[in-house]
Structure 1
Amino acid sequence: MPEQSGQRRGLAWLLAALSALGPFSIDAYLPSFAAIGHSLDASPLQVQQTLSVYLFAFAAMSLWHGALADRYGRRRVILAALLLFALASLGCLLATSIGQLWFWRAWQGVTAGAGIVVSRAIVRDLFDDADAQRLMARITMIFALAPAIAPLLGGWLQVNFGWRAVFAFLALSTVALWLACLKWLPESLPPEKRQPLHPTYLLGAYRKVLSTPGFLAACAALSLNFAGFFIYVLSAPVFVMQHLGLPETAFLWLFAPAMLGLLAGSALSGQLAGRRSAAYCLRLGYALMALAATVNLLYHHVFPPTLPWSILPIGLYTSGMALAMPSLTLAALDLFPRQRGLAASCQTFLQSSFNGLCAALIAPALWSSARHLSLGMAGLLLLGALASQRQWRGRAAA
C-alpha cells in the first residue's frame, strides 16, 4: 500500500507538470509584453494577439489530441507533443518579427494541449469515482504552483536576461519533462481498447459528444467559471502595472493568492471525495465563488484598486473554482466511458476556444478599469452557475 501511494503521488506530479505546460507558457512571458513590443516594433495589441493565436491554436488541436491518444496510446502522443513544443519554443526564442512570434506561438498552442487532454484521460483510465476525484484534486494542487511561479520566474528572466530567455527556459524545461515522461509515464490504454481514426467513426463520435446537452452544459460551466479568473490573467500587465502601480517583477501579488486559493480548494475537494457527494462539492464551490465575486464587485464600485483588497477576492474565487472543477470535469467524461480521450479533447477544445475569445475580445474590453473586471467576473460566474444548474438537473432527470 505505501508503494502504491508513492506511485500515485509520483504520477500526480508528472500529470500535473504535463497539465501545467500550457498555462506556464501563458503566464511566464506576461512580464515581457512591453519588452517584446519594443524589441519587435509591435503595438500592445499586436503583442496581446500572441496570446490569442496561441489559445485558438490550442483549442483547434485539442480536438485531435484525445482521438490520437485513443488510437495510438497515451504515452506516444505525449512524447511526440513535448518534442514539438520544445522546437516551437526555440522558434519563439529566435523570432525577429511579431509575425514570426505569432507563427511559433501558434505552434506552441498546437502542441501544448496534449498534456492537459491526455492527463485527464489517464486519470479516468486508471481510477474510478472517489479515487479519480482525489487524484484530480492532487493534480490541481500541484498544477496550481506553476501559474504562481511562472510570472515570478518570467519577471526575473526578463529583468536579468531579456524576453528571449523566457522561451529558452521553456525549451529546456520541456526537454527535461520529456525525459521524465520517457522514464516514468505509464501507458494506461492497452491496445485492445484503442479506437480507430477512420473519418466516419470520428465524425460520428465528435457529433455525438458535441451534441450531448449534459456534456455541453458541464463544459460551459467549466469554461465560464475559469474565465471569471482568467480575465485577470489576460489583463495582468495592465491590472498589475497600471491599476495597482506595481513593477514588472511584482506579478506574484496577483498570482500567489490565486494559486493559494486553487491549492486550498483542491485540498478540500480531496478531503471531501468519498465523504460528500459531487453535488455538495459543487454547491459549496459556487457559494465561495459567489461570495468572492460579490465582495470584489462591491469593493471596486466604492474604492479605487489597491493592495491587498483588490487581490484577496481572486484567491477566494479560485478556491471555489478548484472545489467545483473535479465534479464538473468527471461528470462530463463519465458520459463517454469508451471514448474518454476524445471527450477530454472536446472538453478542452470548448474551454480553450472560450479562453481565446476572452483573450481576443472580453479581456481587452474589460481591462480599462478594475471595476469593469469585477463586473466581468460576476457576469461570467452567473452564466457558469446557470450552465452548471442545467447540467445537474439533466443528470438527475436521467
Structure 2
Amino acid sequence: MALLLGGLAMFGPFSIDTIFPAFPQMGAQLAADKLAMQQTIAVYLIAYALMSLVHGPLSDAIGRRRVILVGLVVFAGASAGCALSMDLTTLLWFRALQGLSAGVGLIVGRAVIRDVLHGNDAQRLMSQVSMIFGIAPAIAPVIGGWILGWSAWPVIFWFLVAFSVVLWFATLVFLPETHPKPARLPLRGSSLLRDYVAIFLNPRFQRLAAAGTFNFGALFLYIASAPAFVLDLLHLDERSFAWFFVPMIGGMMLGAFTSGRIAGKVDGATQVRIGFACCGLAAALNIAYNLIVAAPTVPWAVLPMMLNSFGIALVFPILTLAILDMYPRQRGSASSLQAFTGLVSNAVIAGVLSPLLSHHALHLALGAAAFSLLGWAIWRWERSVNARMPDCAPNQVGELEPTERL
C-alpha cells in the first residue's frame, strides 16, 4: 500500500521537476523566454488547484479506485499531447490538462490512508508514503537531464506517459476499493457546495491548512526557482540539478522516516513544534550564509534547504491527519480543499514570486524565511485556541472498520 500510494503521489512532482533541465532547450525551440517558460509551471498548478476541488468529492461519491484509474488515463493522454506540441500555446493547453488529472494520486491517496488506518498507524503510513513521494523531486530533474543527454525534450513527456501507464496497471491489480458503497455520499452540486463552504469557513480548518501551506511555501519557492537557482545563481549545468534536489529531498525523507519512528512515542503537538524549530533554524542559517558570501556555491548553499525539508516532513503528516479527522465522512472533500489551498499558494509562488525573487540568492532566502515565519505564527494561533491536538475521530456509523476494508 505504501509503495503504490507513494508512486501515485509521485507523478504530480514528476510533471513539474522532470522538465526543469529542458527549459533552455524548450525555450529555444518554442521561441519562449525564461518568464514564458515559467508559465508552464503556473498553468499546470492553476489547473491542478482547480481540479483538486473535484477529485476528493468524486472519490467520496463513486469510490477512490475508479477516480484514480480515470485520472491516470487522462494524465497519460495529456503527457502525449505535451510531447507532440510544436508551439508554446499548445504546450500550455496540454500542461493544463496534465494539471487537471495529476492530483488524483496525492489527494485521493490521502483519503485512502485514513480510510484504512487511524491514529499512530495512519501517521506511520502517511510518513512512509511521504518518504517514497519525496524521491520524486530528487530524481525527476536527474532523469530529465539524462534524457536530454541522449535525446530531445519531448522524450521527457513520453517518459511520463510510460510512468502513468505502469501506475494504471499497478492500481488496477493491487489497490482495493477502500471507500465502500454504504459510506459513500451522493454527488450533488448543492450538497457539494454546501460541504465546501462549511469546511472552508471552519476557522480550525483555515488555521491548520494555512500553517501547512505557508510552511511548505518556503521550500516550494526554491523548487519553483530551481532553473534560475541551479543554472544562474549556482552556475551549474542542466545535469547538475541533483546538487539542489538530492539534499533537499534527503532531508524530507529523513524527516518522514523520523515521523514514522516516533509515532506513538511523541505527541503530535510536540512533533510539530520540533518541525517548526528546524524550519526556523534553517531560515536563519540560509539568510546568514547569503549575507556573508558574494556568490552561493554547493554544498553550502543547499544545506539549509535540507534542514528546512526535514522540519516540513515532521509538521505535514500531523496537520494533514488532523484535517482529515475533522470530517470522517468527507475525507475526500477535506483532502481536496486542503490541496486546493496549498496549490493556489504554489501557483502564486511559481507565477509571481519566483520570477521576482529568483534573480538574487538573498532575496530567495528572505522570501523563504517569511513563509516559514508566517506558517509558525499561524500554528501558534491554532495552539492558543486549541490547547491539544484532538484524538483521531472514531469511525462513523455505517463505516467499515479499517481491517475490514483491507
What TM-score do the two structures reach when normalised by structure 2?
0.94
Whether 2:45 is the aligned partner of 1:55: answer yes
Q: CA deviation at 1:367?
A: 0.3
2:138 paired residue number = 148
**Which residue pairs with 1:98 in the alignment?**
88
Counterpart residue identity of residue 238, structure 1? A
Separation in structure 2 between the aligned mates of residue 387 and residue 360 of structure 1, nearest angstrom: 24
SS at match of 2:103: helix
Q: Which of 362, 383, 400 is the aligned partner of 1:392?
A: 383
Cα deviation, 1:302-336, whole Å, max 9, x if unaligned, reads 11211111011100110000011111111111111
**AA matched with 2:303:** L
1:322 maps to a residue whose letter is A
Range moving further from structure 2, 243-252 or 327-336:
327-336
Picking from 258, 281, 296, the partner of 1:305 is 296
- 8 Å CA contact retained: 1:19, 1:143: yes
Which AA in structure 2 matches 1:104?
Answer: F
The equivalences for 1:9-48 within 5 A come to 11-48=1-38
Q: Distance in 2 between matches of 1:392 and 1:88?
A: 43
**CA shift at 1:225, angstroms?**
1.1
Residue in structure 1 matched with residue 119 of structure 2 by the alignment: 129
Distance in 1, matches of 2:189 and 2:204, equals 25
Partner letter of residue 352 of structure 2?
A: L
CA–CA separation in structure 2 for the residues paired with 1:184 and 1:390: 42
Q: How does 1:64-213 map to 2 (within 5 A)?
A: 64-213=54-203
SS at match of 1:334: helix
Query: Is 2:311 the partner of 1:320?
Result: yes
Alpha-carbon displacement from aligned partner over 1:112-132 (angstroms, at most 9, x marks no partner): 011111000000101111000
Tell me if 1:337 matches 2:328: yes
Shift of 1:392: 2.9
Cα offset, 1:395, TM superposition:
2.9
**Is 1:350 matched with 2:361?**
no
Distance 2:185 2:386 in 1: 27
Which amino acid letter does the alignment assign opposite residue 336 of structure 2? Answer: S
Match of 2:278 among 285, 288, 294: 288
Q: Give the alignment's TM-score, normalised by structure 1.
A: 0.96
CA distance in 1, matches of 2:155, 2:378: 41
**Residue among 239, 261, 274 paired with 1:271:** 261
Whole-Å separation in 1 of the counterparts to 2:48 and 2:334 = 16
Letter in 2 for 1:358: I
The SS at the match of 2:387 is helix
Alpha-carbon contact 1:215-1:391 (below 8 Å) kept: no
Using the alignment, how far apart are the partners of 1:160 and 1:317 within structure 2? Answer: 34
Task: Give the Cα–Cα distance (whole angstroms) in 2 for the partners of residues 251 and 131 of structure 1.
Answer: 35
What's 2:229 paired with? 239
How far 1:44 sits from its partner (Å)? Answer: 1.4
Deviation at residue 229 of structure 1 after TM alignment: 0.6
User: Once the two structures are aligned, what percentage of the paired residues are identical?
Assistant: 44
Q: Name the SS of the counterpart of 1:301 in structure 2.
A: helix
Gaps of 5+ in 2: 391-406
Stretch of structure 1 that moved more, 350-359 or 37-46 = 37-46
Structure 1 residue ranges (4+ consecutive) displaced by more than 3 angstroms after TM superposition: none
CA distance in 2, matches of 1:23, 1:392: 31
Root-mean-square deviation (CA, aligned residues, Å) is 1.0
Correspondences of 1:257-268 after superposition (within 5 Å): 257-268=247-258
- 1:390 is displaced (CA, Å) by 2.0
Aligned AA for 2:345? F
Q: Write out per-residue CA displacement over residues 71-110 of structure 1, whole angstroms, 9 at most, x where no aligned residue.
A: 0000000000000000000000000110000000000000
**Structure 1: where are the runs of 5+ without partners?**
1-10
